[in-house]
Structure 1
């Protein structure tokens, strides 16, 4: 057993001995909300009385408390120490948990910025910080094997720079499978880092875009899970591959009860953070040559399995689109989707 596995098992054992009823308590923690679920409302300039824009994390916390969420995952970049204290006060008053979303240090000169953001997040009450290592979706941003290898090299450097800061402040960093790493690649990086302070933000559906079976992704990354982006996904064929959409929980193709049970099994303290992004479907152009520039080890079998899954789960109606809606209609659709997901999480997933 490596150092990570030993620490994980002993920590969970200590928690269980100290708090025998802890798993039941955590089972009743309501689902939280990722700031990206409010892509239209965040810093919105729309003149809407019913859906006023959120200017900062405090607005998000107050709203999420009103709609019955259990917590929030919010971007901590740009916070002052004074604002972090105000976030802490708002969070404590609302009775919500807080996770941060943070950028890892790009180089040694960026470590001071990273450490200040870690300090601010901890001051506000966050013990887990979600991050990404890439500049965008793998198949859109990286156009050669060499470019992707450079990303891997830079990501490892960044995580190695971040680790002493996290260890010093006793805050965990959770790297997301952000349509960049295939599950085995991310797991290999985390194993190489081998730190109790660096694990995974397990996104339930992103890796479908990389031709991965969603349950295999969960099984590969769940030993490292610190946090989640909970979502359901729907798929639809299009000429160059398939379309991929977040849809309200229970309306897609993912086995949410099984995924949540596995996450709790490996980390009883894990949070479930809703990332319901209300947008047009994403195009996954897996039948175009350019898509394959960084996928030297992905087999035709995996492509065939994914396309078969898409055809087997053809939606009864076309995937939802919002680009044709006006600003108020988009805000309304976004809020309704989030409320629908929270209701499902309480009624069907016992996160209440």
Structure 2
């Protein structure tokens, strides 16, 4: 067993004790909400009386508490010490968990700001942070094997800069499979870093964009998972490949109960956070040459499997689209989708 794997396994019991506000096998587990679920409402410019904009973590905590959610995952960037304390007070008042979403340092000069963000997140009560290693989707951002190799190199360097800070403050950092890393790539990155403080924020659906089977992704990444982005997915064929959408839980094709059980098995103290993004479908152009510029090692069988999945699952009435809606209608649909998912998690997934 590698040192990192040993440390991770050994730390699970201690981890459960170190999260007084985070659900564990000794406490009830409720679905939380990722800030990106409020795709339209977060920092919205729409003047809406019914759906006023959320501009900070406290407003998000208040609203998610009203919905009966278990906690939030929210962006931590440039908080003051005073604001972090106010977030902690609000979180403790409601008994919610808090996770931060944070950027990585790209160079040594960035480490002081990263450290301050970690300190503020910890002061607010976050003991798990989420991050990403790339600025965009793999097939849209990187156009050669060399470009993607450079991402791997820079990601490792950033994590090596971040690790001493995380170790110093005993804060966990989860790297999201953010339509950039296929699951084996991400595991390889973690093994290079080899730290008990760096693991995975497991997104249940993202890796479909990279032609991975979502259940295999969960099986591969669950042993390294600190936090989650729970979602259900639907698909639809289009000439260049397929369209991919988050849809309300229970209406998509993912086996959510099995995925959640796998995560619980490997990390009983872990949280489940909803990321239901209400938007137009994403285009996954897997039948174009450009898509394959960084995917040459992916077997054709993965493409064939995904296309069979797409052709075998028609979403009734076609995938949801929002471009034709007014700003107020988008806000209303977003809220309806989030509420539907929270209710589903209570009635069908046992996250109550």
TM-score, scaled relative to structure 2 = 0.96
CA distance in 2, matches of 1:261, 1:332: 32
**1:25-63 per-position Cα deviation (integer Å, ceiling 9, x unaligned):** 34x221000000001111112121111111111100000
- 1:124 and 2:115 aligned: no
Structure 1: which 5+ runs fail to align? none
2: CA distance, partners of 1:349 / 1:132: 27
Count residues in correspondence.
349
The alpha-carbon distance between structure 1 residues 113 and 13, as it changes in their structure 2 partners (threshold 3 A), is closer
Quote how far apart the aligned CAs of 1:299 are: 1.3
Q: 1:14 to 1:64 in 2, by over 3 A?
A: closer
Q: Which residue number corresponds to residue 56 of structure 2?
A: 56
Aligned positions of 1:224-239 closer than 5 A: 224-239=224-239
CA distance in structure 2 between the partners assigned to 1:17 and 1:182 by the alignment? 32
Cα distance, 1:24 vs structure 2: 4.2
Once residues 87 and 15 of structure 1 are traced to their aligned partners in structure 2, the CA distance between those partners, rounded to angstroms, is 22
SS in structure 1 of the partner of residue 243 of structure 2: strand
The CA distance in 1 between the partners of 2:47 and 2:319, in whole Å, is 28
In 2: Cα distance, 1:97 partner to 1:338 partner? 18
Query: Take 1:24 and 1:266, find their aligned partners in 2: how far apart are those partners?
Result: 12
2:16 and 2:268 in contact (8 A); partners too: no
Aligned twin of 2:320: 320
Measured on the aligned residues, the alpha-carbon RMSD in Å equals 1.6
Superposition pairs for residues 294-309 of structure 1, below 5 Å? 294-309=294-309
Distance in 1 of aligned mates of 2:91 and 2:15? 24
Match of residue 25 from structure 1: 26
Secondary structure, counterpart of 1:25 in structure 2:
coil
> How far apart in 1 are the matches of 2:140 and 2:329?
29
Is 2:130–2:176's contact at 8 Å kept on the other side of the alignment? Answer: yes
Instruction: Work out the CA distance in 1 between the residues paired with 2:211 and 2:341.
Output: 25
Q: How far apart in 1 are the matches of 2:74 and 2:17?
A: 32
Matches within 5 A, 1:1-352: 1-13=1-13, 24-26=25-27, 28-352=28-352
Does the Cα contact within 8 Å between 2:16 and 2:269 map onto a contact in 1? no
Instruction: Call closer, same or farther: CA 1:324–1:208 in 2, change over 3 Å.
Output: same
Unaligned runs of 5+ in 2: none
- Cα deviation digits, residues 68-99 of structure 1 (max 9, x gap): 00000000012111111111111111211000
Tell me how far apart the structure 1 counterparts of residues 17 and 158 of structure 2 sit (CA, whole Å). Answer: 36
The 1:62–1:288 alpha-carbon spacing in structure 2 relative to 1, beyond 3 Å, is same
The CA deviation at 1:10 is 2.6
Contact 2:99-2:130 at 8 Å conserved across structures: yes
Q: TM-score, normalization: structure 1?
A: 0.96
Give, in angstroms, the shift of residue 23 of structure 1.
5.1
Quickly say closer, same or farther: Cα 1:15–1:276, change in 2 above 3 A. Answer: closer
Q: Deviations over 1:264-319 (max 9, x none)?
A: 00000110010000000000000011011101201111111110110011212200
Give the secondary-structure state (helix, strand or coil) at the position aligned to 2:26: helix
